[in-house]
Amino acid sequence: MSLTPPATATATRSPLLLYLTVGGFMLEQFTLPGVLPDGLLEKVIPRIVGAGS
């Protein structure tokens, strides 16, 4: 049985997904207010994850 968390396992299989997830988090944290609509990444990332699986 693997001790790897599911998110890490997914990211290991998909470096692009890891990049998008981390990049999305960074954008959420550090972009100036108003640059991106609130919640945009929360809407987009699950679609990318769903399409990738």
**Residue 8 forms part of a structural domain:** no
User: 45 vs 2, 3, 35, 52, CA distance in Å?
Assistant: 25, 25, 17, 10
Q: What share of the chain in percent tops pLDDT 70?
A: 34
The whole-number average pLDDT for the span 40-48 is: 69
**Residue 4 forms part of a structural domain:** no
pLDDT for 11 = 47
Q: Report d(CA 22, CA 29) in Å as an integer.
A: 11
Q: Report d(CA 29, CA 17) in Å as an integer.
A: 18
**Residue 7 forms part of a structural domain:** no
Longest dimension (CA), the chain: 45
**Residue 10 forms part of a structural domain:** no
Contact 17, 49 (CB under 8 A): yes
Looking up tokens 């990444």, which residue turns up? 41
Q: Which domain holds residue 41?
A: 15-50
Number of domains in the chain: 1
